[in-house]
Amino acid sequence: MKATLQTIADELGVSRSTVSNAYSRPDQLSPELRARILSAAQRLGYAGPNPTARSLRSGKVNAIGVLLTDNLSMAFTDPYAVAYLRGLAEAASARETSLLLLNLPKDEAAGRRVISNAAVDAFCLYCVPDWHSALELVRSRGVPVVIGEDPQAFGPEASYVGIDERAAARRLGEHIVNLGHRDIAVVAHWIVDDGVTTQVHADPDDLRYYVTGERVRGFRDAALAAGVPWERVVLINAAGNQREEGAQAAAHALDRLDRATAILCTSDVLALGVLDALRVRGLQAGRDVSVTGFDDIPEAEAAGLTTIRQPSVERGRLAGELLLDPPEDPALRRLTLPVSLVVRSTTGPNTAKEKS
């Protein structure tokens, strides 16, 4: 017969609650009594309280739900996501909490089912469109939430750890225009939803995805301040945030008579693909065409990529700490982290003849 808490209690002549305390509230027992209970449990083949039953009683499952887009593989393949989740995991493991990666499908009904069925104590919204109806369901769960994109998307009740995306992108744009570049292309993921790598014509103020929109708007701010009409900038949608998509997108900026002298990318991954495209065409980054990225992933330094460095691991760690050990002051639960412009060899002065 399978051993239970009552089996051990009968064996030792103590109450069932005393045996339970040996597992859930050891401070309530003397070390000697607890040792006797654990020894009897091992001898009788008792593995410990049922974790599901224990979580139902306590209302805690010791898990953070990490909401991702419909592409769950990004948690393992996107270098920035890997670094962010590493920081989040460090904070969680230090507090004996696990991470549950949740795939949020584009189908909103399916997304709501994911939220409803998630056995978690808190949600980390890593990469979720702010218009997705599942967010209302997250709010209705009444558990702690931390967001990392639009600080206004969820309301003041949510914690926030992010960066000023627009100001950071403007710094990149200012670096490029100060080098004399006026024939500029922008390569970005999620300008449009149709998953096609192509040149597009879009008003930056109308872009739906917060991070993409803010970074493109920051590039526009720098261009307009330098007297470069936004209509002159070539805007290219990359079908995905993959290196190969960056290379395909670069073709729309490079294979034309009025070739861009600078290409601004909304991620390092896309920028690495642009560098691949330059090499195929016998062009040198920083001499023939300047290229910038965003994030400063490990591969960026090896490639000599000019980029914005943001604290990815620290950002994830702070998000976890705000969920699991939030400060009492609400103002301390809204963090905007500093970034820095890292200038490397992929950017240089514009040596091409300026258009009339």
- Domain containing residue 243: 165-311
Contact 316, 289 (CB under 8 A): no
Give the C-alpha separation, 214 to 192, whole Å. Answer: 14
Q: What CATH number should be reported for the domain holding residue 146? A: 3.40.50.2300
Candidates 272, 216, 215; CA nearest to 247 is 272
Pairing type for strands 340-342 and 307-309 reads antiparallel
Is residue 45 included in any domain, yes or no?
A: no
Alpha-carbon distance values, 267 to 119, 185, 240 (Å): 33, 14, 11
In this structure, the answer to whether residues 292 and 210 fall within a common structural domain is yes
Helix/strand/coil for 107: coil
Q: What percent of the chain has pLDDT over 70?
A: 94
In the prediction, which pLDDT does 158 show? 92
Report the pLDDT averaged over residues 309-333. Answer: 94
Highest averaged pLDDT of the listed ranges 11-15, 68-72, 126-130, 214-218: 214-218
Report the pLDDT averaged over residues 117-123. Answer: 90
In the prediction, which pLDDT does 88 show? 97
Give the C-alpha separation, 183 to 77, whole Å. Answer: 33
For the chain, how many structural domains are there in total? Answer: 3
pTM for the full model?
Answer: 0.83
The answer, yes or no, to whether residue 340 has pLDDT greater than 90, is: yes
Q: What is the tally of helices (H) and strands (E) in the chain?
A: 14, 13
In this structure, the answer to whether residues 217 and 260 fall within a common structural domain is yes
**Which residues face 51 on adjacent strands?**
none
CA atoms within 13 A on the CB side of 313: 5
* Cβ within 8 Å of residue 329, ≥6 positions away: none
In this structure, the answer to whether residues 137 and 15 fall within a common structural domain is no
In this structure, the answer to whether residues 188 and 208 fall within a common structural domain is yes
CA atoms within 13 A on the CB side of 266: 30
Give the C-alpha separation, 244 to 43, whole Å. Answer: 59
Contact 188, 220 (CB under 8 A): no
In the prediction, which pLDDT does 356 show? 35
The larger pLDDT score, comparing residue 249 to residue 356, is at: 249
Is residue 20 included in any domain, yes or no?
A: yes
In this structure, the answer to whether residues 96 and 232 fall within a common structural domain is no
Is residue 29 included in any domain, yes or no?
A: yes
Q: What CATH number should be reported for the domain holding residue 33? A: 1.10.260.40
In this structure, the answer to whether residues 150 and 201 fall within a common structural domain is no
Report the pLDDT averaged over residues 282-295. Answer: 98
In this structure, the answer to whether residues 151 and 187 fall within a common structural domain is no
In this structure, the answer to whether residues 305 and 319 fall within a common structural domain is no
Candidates 270, 319, 320, 325; CA nearest to 292 is 270
Report the pLDDT averaged over residues 188-204. Answer: 88
In this structure, the answer to whether residues 211 and 114 fall within a common structural domain is no
* Cβ within 8 Å of residue 47, ≥6 positions away: none
In this structure, the answer to whether residues 76 and 15 fall within a common structural domain is no
| Residue whose tokens read 């861009």 | 260
